[in-house]
A and B are shown apart, each in its own frame.
Chain A
Amino acid sequence: MTGPVSAHRLGVISCHACGLVCEDTLTRQTASSRLAPETDPHVDCPRCGAPLHRRRPNNIPRAWALLLAGLIFYIPANVLPVMYTSLMGSGSENTIMQGVIEFWKSGSYGIALVIFIASVLVPCTKFVVLGVLFATSQRCSRWAMKERAKLYRLVELVGYWSMLDVLVVAIVAALVKFQGLSDIEPRIGILFFGMVVIMTMLSAMSFDPRLIWDGDNE
């Protein structure tokens, strides 16, 4: 029992909502009421009424579920067209990768790279990073804790910027409306892409980063 003092060791809980530190009575109550271990009893914060938890309850499965949902949505987001562009009457629907390839072929390497990073590289990295975080935290691994914490902050930070694609499509579709000459419309794929971003953000949010350090205590 070396190292820094944790709330668990002191037998107190911090309220998530108002930050009030309370005495950890959960173990006592659980023991006194002899409830089944799989049930989730909790007490409310005496100041603000928010439920008190040592860690966010169920957060690892929740994060996993949302990550999985995001992963599932990522498939149609890539398979279905995200954008319909018509120039001089000849229209075509493009998926994300088709768009990247087209821009790359036409020599716009910068745009192709930006789209590729925003739509492919970042989500994929997020999936991997979150997966690694969840897996290691679940097992209370003590491997590279600091780096993992940094990664988590990075994922959180990048989170909202992943909406870049959706934003581009939305803005361009709203701006480019020259009937007959050129037209850009969003397609269902971009909806799924948006869902991917939301799911991964929710997943990262529901993960309790304190779990990274839990392995340190035991």
Chain B
Amino acid sequence: MTNITDTQLQPGQPAIHRRRWGISLIWIVPIVAAAIGISMLVHAWLSEGPEITILFRTATGLEAGKTPVKYKDVTVGAVTAITLSEDGSHVKVKVALMQSAKSLTSKDSRFWVVRPRIGASGISGVDTLLSGAYIGVDKGQAEETASEFTGLEMPPPVVGDMPGKSFILKSEDLGSLDIGSPVYYRRIQVGRVASYQLGETGQDIKLQIFIDAPYDRYVTTDTRFWNASGVDVSLGADGLKLKTQSVATIVAGGVAFASPMGSQASPADKDTEFTLTADQDTAMAPPDGQAQYIQLKFDQSLRGLSVGAPVQFSGVDLGRVVSINLDYDPVKHRFPTVVGVLVYPERMGRVLDKLPKLEGDNDRQAALFMHSMVKQGLRAQARLGNILTGQLYIAMDFVPNAPKVELDVNARPISMPTVNGSFDRMQEQIANIVTKIEKMPLDSIAKHLDASLVNLDKTLTQVNTHVLPETTQTLQQTRQTMQDAGQTMQQARQTLSGVDNVLADDAPLSQNLGQTLQEVQRASRSLRELTDLLGRHPESLLRGRPADPALVSKPVAPSPQEESKP
């Protein structure tokens, strides 16, 4: 054992390992740890994006440290603090953006709070019901950056990089349109109203609409836009018409567009201006072309004529009344009415090509053409358009027997000769009738009538004295004859009553007749029974009547006659 212990105590020659370096390798561990820590720090520092402040009216749904900022549904930052502005009118929302979202700090970037909204045009932001509100961003285009933004209260209808095109619509008023109102093409919603603003002059409204791709290519240079808001009910010669694009438009309003049939026009450029008309019919009407202003001077009262009243030529709507003014004629001391009308010659359509071409500018051409027409008897006239309402319209028509008027070709505006309206002519005709009546020889007619009446009187006296007494006599004789006839009739009645007595129910004759008939009935029944008996028992002729079971059976099955007897 000691031996073993000795050997154990002397381990012999252990290999000697030498270390080259004095410092332990273990120090690498904290160095690595520090390196990781520092790299994290550097990473955090580098990835720290810009901090921006957004002003909102309220901070509803926003929460510091939790509410994310999302761009294209990617979280690009978070709200770090929410404070009230100095004057208390806004809330300042501090947002720490990520480094990758640096480009979102363009000066014209837009920020808004996405929360569930229920509007006339639908429900949006339903996903935020569960996840809570977040701040949406639309990347701006500007080169400059900003650190303070004013947040939108409503989500923008058009986000910057959405595929599609925007167009400008000019309208007289906004109607029921609003931001976000739908734009329809063949009743498919293809876009929406992005914004609206008053024109520079305040005379019209410029609506910016956004049409999503690929529908934007249906907007061509000759596309017509109309207001599809609400319900369009019209009662016309063709019946009751009710038009609406969709239920949504009734509430929220909307715009519809279409191109004329067979249109070959190229797609319109971005931000092309169009006119927004009141309804589809107006929108789709052929273009009016250049308007021609014509002045008409009427001597009559034009009660019932209003601005906007139609101007018709041979029943074709050519234009409308634009002004009605009074004028003073110092010579006649009259107040004629001066009516200004706008005429769109293009509305005549293809006829224009057939008309003779005249030299000079537009006004001159029109004047020369009008001149030749006036020579043929073309006159303007205020006519009654609607008997019920008394609305007048201006008609241009060829009036036969019109007094000759020379049109001043050089006068501007062109002044067209007028004739008085149809109402006036009716009065004229009545006056004519009156004068004709006046011309009648009423006095001599009365005299002749008087003489005739005297003659008549004589004739009547004659009738009274001679004819009437004879007639009375004849009548008396007639009455006598009638009395005789009456007596004859009475006798006849007596005779008839005698007959009647004979034929009465309780008359002995009829009673006898009844008894006789009963006897006959009985006889015939006996006869029938006899024949029956013979039919069944012909031997009874020889053997006499058998002890008949039929007698027993009789009360069992009585004959119908017997039953009816009592």
Number of interface residues of B (CB under 8 A): 30
A35 at the interface (CB under 8 A from B): yes
Check A58 against B33 for contact (C-beta < 8 Å).
no
**Shortest Cβ gap from A215 to chain B (Å):** 23
Query: Taking CB as reference atom, which chain B residue is nearest A13?
Result: B11
A25 at the interface (CB under 8 A from B): yes
Contact among A33, A68, A70, A92 with B16 in the assembled complex (CB-CB below 8 Å): A33
Check A23 against B29 for contact (C-beta < 8 Å).
no
Whether A72 touches B18, Cβ cut-off 8 Å, given contacts A90-B66, A199-B29, is no
Chain A residues with Cβ below 8 Å from B66 are: 90, 92
Q: Using a CB-CB cutoff of 8 Å, which residues 165-218 of chain A contact chain B?
A: 180, 195, 199, 206
Q: Using a CB-CB cutoff of 8 Å, which residues 58-76 of chain A contact chain B?
A: 58, 61-62, 65-66, 68-70, 72-73, 75-76
Binds A, one of B126-134, B168-176, B381-389: B126-134
- Per the bound structure, the CA–CA distance linking A109 and B19 in Å amounts to 54
Interface string of B42-80 (1 = CB under 8 A from A): 000000000000000000000001100000000000000
Check A88 against B29 for contact (C-beta < 8 Å).
no
B186 at the interface (CB under 8 A from A): no
Check A89 against B130 for contact (C-beta < 8 Å).
yes
- Per the bound structure, the CA–CA distance linking A206 and B26 in Å amounts to 11
List residues of B whose CB falls within 8 A of some A CB. Answer: 7-12, 14-19, 22, 24, 26-27, 29-30, 32-34, 36-37, 40, 65-66, 127, 130-132
Check B11 against A69 for contact (C-beta < 8 Å).
no
Binds B, one of A40-48, A110-118, A122-130: A40-48
A20 at the interface (CB under 8 A from B): yes
Contact among A23, A41, A90 with B9 in the assembled complex (CB-CB below 8 Å): A23
A38 at the interface (CB under 8 A from B): yes
Whether A22 touches B8, Cβ cut-off 8 Å, given contacts A39-B19, A43-B14, A44-B15, is yes
**Shortest Cβ gap from A74 to chain B (Å):** 10
Whether A76 touches B37, Cβ cut-off 8 Å, given contacts A39-B18, A58-B26, A66-B30, is yes
Chain A residues with Cβ below 8 Å from B30 are: 65-66, 68-69, 72
Q: How many A-B residue pairs have CB under 8 A?
A: 93
Number of interface residues of A (CB under 8 A): 39
- Per the bound structure, the CA–CA distance linking A90 and B68 in Å amounts to 9
Check A65 against B12 for contact (C-beta < 8 Å).
no
Check A29 against B24 for contact (C-beta < 8 Å).
no
Contact among A46, A52, A72, A80 with B8 in the assembled complex (CB-CB below 8 Å): A46
Chain B residues with Cβ below 8 Å from A62 are: 24, 26
Check A43 against B11 for contact (C-beta < 8 Å).
yes
Whether A44 touches B11, Cβ cut-off 8 Å, given contacts A61-B27, A66-B30, is yes
**Shortest Cβ gap from A151 to chain B (Å):** 23
Check A65 against B29 for contact (C-beta < 8 Å).
yes
Q: A39-B22, A62-B24, A88-B130 are in contact. List 13 more A-B contacts (CB 8 A).
A: A23-B10, A38-B22, A39-B18, A45-B11, A46-B11, A61-B24, A65-B26, A72-B33, A72-B34, A76-B37, A76-B40, A80-B40, A206-B26
- Per the bound structure, the CA–CA distance linking A195 and B35 in Å amounts to 14
Check B29 against A66 for contact (C-beta < 8 Å).
yes
Give 29 CB contacts A-B under 8 Å: A20-B8, A22-B11, A23-B9, A25-B10, A25-B14, A29-B14, A29-B16, A40-B19, A41-B17, A41-B18, A58-B26, A61-B26, A62-B24, A65-B27, A66-B30, A68-B30, A69-B29, A69-B30, A69-B32, A70-B33, A72-B36, A73-B37, A75-B37, A88-B131, A89-B127, A89-B131, A90-B131, A180-B130, A195-B33
Q: Which of B11, B34, B65 has the most CB of A within 10 A?
A: B11
**Shortest Cβ gap from B61 to chain A (Å):** 10
Check A65 against B40 for contact (C-beta < 8 Å).
no
Chain B residues with Cβ below 8 Å from A206 are: 26
Chain B residues with Cβ below 8 Å from A42 are: 14, 16-17
Q: Using a CB-CB cutoff of 8 Å, which residues 10-38 of chain A contact chain B?
A: 20, 22-23, 25, 29, 33, 35, 38
Chain B residues with Cβ below 8 Å from A33 are: 16
Chain A residues with Cβ below 8 Å from B8 are: 20, 22, 46-47
Q: Using a CB-CB cutoff of 8 Å, which residues 74-125 of chain A contact chain B?
A: 75-76, 80, 88-90, 92
Check A22 against B29 for contact (C-beta < 8 Å).
no
Chain A residues with Cβ below 8 Å from B7 are: 46
**Shortest Cβ gap from B274 to chain A (Å):** 42
- Per the bound structure, the CA–CA distance linking A40 and B130 in Å amounts to 66
- Per the bound structure, the CA–CA distance linking A25 and B132 in Å amounts to 75
Query: Taking CB as reference atom, which chain A residue is nearest B63?
Result: A90
Sorted nearest first, the 4 A-B pairs with minimum C-beta distance are A89-B131, A43-B14, A69-B33, A23-B9
**Shortest Cβ gap from A92 to chain B (Å):** 5
Chain B residues with Cβ below 8 Å from A43 are: 11, 14, 16
- Per the bound structure, the CA–CA distance linking A176 and B442 in Å amounts to 119
Chain A residues with Cβ below 8 Å from B65 are: 92
- Per the bound structure, the CA–CA distance linking A54 and B421 in Å amounts to 135
Chain B residues with Cβ below 8 Å from A65 are: 24, 26-27, 29-30
Check B11 against A25 for contact (C-beta < 8 Å).
yes
**Shortest Cβ gap from B86 to chain A (Å):** 30
**Shortest Cβ gap from B11 to chain A (Å):** 4
Q: Which of B18, B29, B130, B132 has the most CB of A within 10 A?
A: B29
Q: Which of B10, B14, B15, B130 has the most CB of A within 10 A?
A: B14
**Shortest Cβ gap from A103 to chain B (Å):** 16
Check A35 against B22 for contact (C-beta < 8 Å).
no
Chain B residues with Cβ below 8 Å from A76 are: 36-37, 40
Query: Taking CB as reference atom, which chain B residue is nearest A57?
Result: B24
Chain B residues with Cβ below 8 Å from A68 are: 30, 33
Chain A residues with Cβ below 8 Å from B15 are: 44
- Per the bound structure, the CA–CA distance linking A61 and B130 in Å amounts to 55
Query: Taking CB as reference atom, which chain B residue is nearest A12?
Result: B9
- Per the bound structure, the CA–CA distance linking A61 and B27 in Å amounts to 8
Query: Taking CB as reference atom, which chain B residue is nearest A67?
Result: B30
- Per the bound structure, the CA–CA distance linking A103 and B18 in Å amounts to 56
- Per the bound structure, the CA–CA distance linking A25 and B16 in Å amounts to 12
**Shortest Cβ gap from B499 to chain A (Å):** 115
**Shortest Cβ gap from A86 to chain B (Å):** 8
Chain A residues with Cβ below 8 Å from B132 are: 88-90
- Per the bound structure, the CA–CA distance linking A88 and B66 in Å amounts to 13
Query: Taking CB as reference atom, which chain A residue is nearest B131?
Result: A89
**Shortest Cβ gap from B20 to chain A (Å):** 9
- Per the bound structure, the CA–CA distance linking A75 and B38 in Å amounts to 11
Interface string of A138-181 (1 = CB under 8 A from B): 00000000000000000000000000000000000000000010
Chain B residues with Cβ below 8 Å from A61 are: 24, 26-27
Query: Taking CB as reference atom, which chain B residue is nearest A75?
Result: B37
**Shortest Cβ gap from A84 to chain B (Å):** 12
- Per the bound structure, the CA–CA distance linking A42 and B17 in Å amounts to 7
Check A58 against B24 for contact (C-beta < 8 Å).
yes
Whether A46 touches B33, Cβ cut-off 8 Å, given contacts A58-B26, A65-B24, A89-B127, is no
Chain A residues with Cβ below 8 Å from B26 are: 58, 61-62, 65-66, 206
